[in-house]
Chains A and B, each alone.
Chain A
């Protein structure tokens, strides 16, 4: 079982090894667990060497897009005379995702160490940890950790006595989902409205304050010290032998209708069926799984058959019509009105659209209103085609992917669970399968 339960023996505990140990939050406790050895090592290495090790490890972005981290770092041209910035994306707002929260709650120093190493590797003297506004408890622990780290000389103008400058700051967001999008996050950091920017220019060319910037997810950065400590080959060993593209371990946060929701850490390539039934304990008594969203609300919904056939890595989920995403697993069982769940998701996106792009600003609200009308029993047969057409318009046509994210659960829902929609439209009533056993 994963946190908050005792770990399951099929889990691979790297990042989550010390979840639940309050002592690990303190600098002393963290050092006792081997903390900051990787930073000390890193500060005496050539930054390019660190980038190479991370490249070789196969670490990919854990925020959702899965871009190879070392490659991203190598876009930062060292010695270009400009100030470089590292931003740690701790604005974990994707519905169904709460893995970064646990990292910050239990092992804040792991993130501080990861940030410091990454900042050094990309030639940045400044790292901002942009933390979600609602994360009051993680914010408290992150600030405590930074205070301790500065007091102990681990950070600052002479980090760990190396003469190198590494500053890490925590910046608290104000509660906008869109600020988790990297360019909107940069605007927010600069004190502007959190609107995504047009790319190009890409952040590595002109990011925050128009300077070269790299943005990494909390989980990505937290994995870096382990890679430095144990080597790229060690990290490469996690994962399917026949898939060189997905390596390492991944945290999955599981919520919804399962026996044991929580945060689990498994090696890439773990069978999703075992994950759902063995680690998470399967459906609630008398229920059956109905639909699974494996990577946060923005990825396509899976049928149970698709989920059970999935391998838990970047490519494995794509093969089954969805994406690994952020690793926020949402489990929906047969007691739920699936259309209502999808309508609720679109209402979220309608609320959070930044209002720049036409299709997103108007389309998210329109989608939500149509779905809410269908749920209320007022749907018409044309509504489904309209929804799919709105979804087409909202996909790949906007500055950022919020609009795509809103279209995904709707389009995939209609394609895979059309009967649910049609039943609501035809019978004008909520369709629920009764309890089986």
Chain B
């Protein structure tokens, strides 16, 4: 590395960071979070909140840690008396015109104004004058602006200008009359505009979708991957009472920086569908009868005996499930295909290689790596008399005549579409994406883990488990206990995944072999 490193002391701890790093970032490396509002690592330095003031030896004045570069031998005191007094002053000033309506504020519990006030603020304010009042404003899109709570850190203004490059927000007016203004006639309808909600450190910018739905401390949070498109944005699935209530972006510099698009953020309702198929079923005459898992799996295996399986898989299934399904196809001498719903691409111009992708499915690339064929008319590849395994595919728009060519239909799904009630021979109920764990492979070949956020209904089983049991029943032992065992088997079987395991994927994921070597060449 030709980067020059700088040594400094922060609260008695030695930090070694590249030249040009801010004191604020340097402090993070030694485990000290200097309180701040306007600073965000993805945005330009505004230096306006003045919250990150620290004492730097040999400097006459307190220094803003976000806008002060490290220097060799610098000695920084974050908790010096003057620094604490100054930050306490900033907090008091931020609060004088703040409504202090935490009990009815959606941000309460995850609000940085609240956190730092509890941490360093005064016990009570000294304002004796009436507070300034401004009406709440609808910013369009999913965004509501609660003016009175705003601390004017300008993160939202900078996000729209620098990242979305759709500069519809500004600071209007001056002094304590200032508010976030919106260009007349323009709304926050940019496909990425909703990130301002996530960026807002206080309760000023709120999601209309999440408004008054849940208190932040009632939510469980699960690291996951957005299933909305092939970008694979890292997200947090937030649930309450086994219901997904909100998605938030989770930082990953290799994929989505800090962001996710509105389509992905708001596309979670299907995870809470109530019309689920909850128990295995087998055909008895005109109807479907409930059955034990073992019986249903055995019946499916007997249907496949001596026949080829043709797998029609959803590209939103995990690598693990798709690996099992591809092995069923292989075992029976059959084949598999998938199709991918398309939509317009919407890039975030200020970020590197980040967009809502045309492919509106998370794992099309994974499916292709498993040997499934991508085809807009997937059943065209099915031979007459094949047993059609429909894996979490709704068959919408598929020609009924094509499906009728199948010798039998086995449904491995989360819901039971109307056609399946009279067409399916066996139904194996599986959990949905939020209810199981697994991995997706994004369009750049990055394999990333998602975790289970809620439990599946009834007798549903993980998609990979349903397929693995069927494979075992077909005479190929696949008695895996955990998703990670399936993944280990995949890593052994498929050179693209060689060397990977859940432990090595970690929080950032890893590139499949072909993508890694392509990157190394580039």
Contacts and interface: CB of A to CB of B under 8 A. Distances in A.
Interface of A: 176, 178, 193, 198, 350-359, 361-366, 369-370, 373, 380, 382-383, 386, 389-390, 392-393, 396-399
B129 A373 contact: yes
A397 B54 CA distance: 10
A352 B89 contact: no
Interface string B84-101: 011001101110110000
Given A361-B152, A366-B96, A397-B86, A350 B175 contact: yes
B516 interface: no
B90 A358 contact: yes
A235 to B, nearest CB: 31
B50 A357 contact: yes
A393 B176 contact: no
B279 to A, nearest CB: 59
B174 A353 contact: yes
Contact of B93 (A363, A369, A380, A396): A363
B151 A396 contact: no
A356 B128 contact: no
Contacts of A350: 175-176
23 contacts: A198-B45, A350-B175, A351-B175, A352-B175, A353-B174, A353-B176, A355-B152, A355-B171, A358-B48, A358-B49, A358-B93, A359-B90, A361-B152, A362-B93, A365-B175, A366-B176, A370-B128, A370-B129, A382-B126, A393-B86, A393-B92, A397-B53, A397-B61
A352 B174 contact: yes
Given A350-B176, A397-B50, A397-B53, A193 B129 contact: no
A380 B128 contact: yes
Interface of B: 45-51, 53, 60-62, 64, 67, 85-86, 89-90, 92-94, 96-97, 126-129, 132, 151-152, 170-171, 173-178
A358 B47 contact: no
Contacts of A398: 50
A364 B92 CA distance: 13
B61 A366 contact: no
A380 B50 CA distance: 29
A252 to B, nearest CB: 30
Contacts of B93: 358-359, 361-363, 366, 390, 393
Nearest to A399: B47
A354 B174 contact: yes
Contacts of B176: 350, 353, 355, 361-362, 364-366
Contacts of A361: 93, 152, 175-176, 178
Contact of B97 (A353, A362, A393): A362
Contacts of A363: 93
Given A193-B171, A362-B176, A392-B89, A357 B48 contact: yes
A356 B48 contact: yes
Given A358-B151, A383-B128, A392-B85, 19 more contacts: A193-B171, A351-B175, A355-B152, A355-B175, A357-B48, A357-B50, A358-B90, A359-B50, A359-B93, A362-B96, A362-B97, A364-B175, A365-B132, A366-B93, A369-B129, A382-B126, A396-B61, A397-B86, A397-B90
Query: Which 9 A-B residue pairings sit nearest by Cβ, starting from the closest?
Result: A393-B89, A355-B178, A365-B176, A362-B93, A356-B48, A353-B175, A198-B47, A396-B61, A369-B129
Nearest to B48: A356
Contact of A358 (B51, B60, B67, B132): B51
A370 B94 CA distance: 17
B252 to A, nearest CB: 29
A393 B87 CA distance: 9
A392 B61 CA distance: 12
A358 to B, nearest CB: 5
B141 to A, nearest CB: 24
Contacts of A397: 50, 53, 61-62, 86, 89-90
Contacts of B62: 396-397
Given A358-B50, A396-B61, A373 B170 contact: no
A365 B173 CA distance: 14
A389 B67 contact: no
B89 A389 contact: yes
Contacts of A198: 45, 47, 64, 67
Contacts of B96: 362, 366
A176 B151 CA distance: 22
B90 A393 contact: yes
Max chain A C-beta neighbours (<10 A), residue from B127, B128, B170: B128
Nearest to A177: B174
Contacts of B60: 396
B89 to A, nearest CB: 3
A370 B129 CA distance: 8
A363 B152 CA distance: 14
B259 to A, nearest CB: 25
A141 to B, nearest CB: 30
A373 B50 CA distance: 28
A359 B89 CA distance: 8
A399 to B, nearest CB: 6
Contacts of A369: 129
A386 to B, nearest CB: 5
A175 B94 CA distance: 27
Contacts of B174: 176, 178, 351-355
Contacts of A353: 174-176
- Residue in A176, A198, A357, A358 whose Cβ sees the most chain B Cβ within 10 Å: A358
Contacts of B175: 350-353, 355, 361, 364-365
A43 B62 CA distance: 45
A236 to B, nearest CB: 30
A358 B113 CA distance: 13
Nearest to B92: A393
Contacts of B92: 393
A365 B127 CA distance: 11
B19 to A, nearest CB: 14
A397 B129 CA distance: 24
A24 B175 CA distance: 41
A123 to B, nearest CB: 28
B92, B173, B174, most chain A CB atoms within 10 A = B174
A178 B170 CA distance: 18
A392 B62 CA distance: 12
A340 B49 CA distance: 30
Contacts of B46: 356
Contacts of B64: 198
A351 B93 CA distance: 17
A354 B47 CA distance: 13
A175 to B, nearest CB: 11
A361 B46 CA distance: 15
Nearest to A386: B126
A357 B48 CA distance: 4
B45 A358 contact: no
Nearest to B151: A358
B151 to A, nearest CB: 7
Contacts of B177: 355
Nearest to B173: A355
B49 A366 contact: no
B94 A358 contact: yes
B193 to A, nearest CB: 21
